[in-house]
Amino acid sequence: MKSDRELADIAIEAIKNSYSPYSDFKVGAALLCRDGTVFTGCNIENAAFSSTVCAERTAFFKAVSDGKREFSAIAVVGGKNGTVDGFCPPCGVCRQVMNEFCGEDFKIILFNGKDIKGFTIGDLLPESFGAKKLCE
């Protein structure tokens, strides 16, 4: 199983594929499945800005479309020009996607090139709207 730091290093590698000609803000993600498989993702921008997809959702959608549904952790890194010198917390939409597939034991790992921070989805998306609300 991968350590937090190993997962962060895979996320840093994923930054290389970021397509971000408009913001030049490059993000990489590494999503660890419960079976040990890792899916990477990068942000993919679009001239029609709202069509942009974040690195975290790229990783989730790659994994789910390959049949994965159970996840342990995601590492997220990013920065202007691809320089990782600050934390890059997931946006609200990505938090909502994590909430769909992940429980309280899922770890969201942020790395700034020096230190690691870990969060649960409850930390980042309290009082969330999820599947339970629709199925109650």
DSSP per-residue string spanning 4-46: HHHHHHHHHHHGGG-B-TTT-EEEEEEEEETTS-EEEEE-B--
Choose, by CB under 6 A, the member of 45, 59, 109, 125 that binds ligand THU: 45
Stretch that binds ligand THU, among 7-15, 19-27, 59-67, 108-116 (CB under 6 A): 19-27
* In the complex, minimum distance from the CB of residue 52 to ligand THU, in angstroms, rounded to a whole number: 5
Other Cβ atoms closer than 10 A to 115: 8
Is residue 38 within 8 A of residue 2, CB to CB? The reply is: yes
Stretch that binds ligand THU, among 32-40, 51-59, 62-70, 108-116 (CB under 6 A): 51-59
Pairing of strands 25-33, 38-42: antiparallel
DSSP per-residue string spanning 44-72: B--SSGGG-B-HHHHHHHHHHHTT---EE
User: Phi/psi at 121 (nearest 5 deg)?
Assistant: -65, -30
Is residue 91 involved in binding ligand THU (CB under 6 A)?
Answer: yes
Stretch that binds ligand THU, among 21-29, 96-104, 109-117, 118-126 (CB under 6 A): 21-29
Is residue 8 involved in binding ligand THU (CB under 6 A)?
Answer: no
Which of the following is catalytic: 6, 13, 56, 127? 56
Choose, by CB under 6 A, the member of 8, 10, 11, 20 that binds ligand THU: 20
Catalytic site residue 56?
Answer: yes
38 vs 45, which CB is nearer to ligand THU? Answer: 45
Q: Residues with catalytic annotation?
A: 56
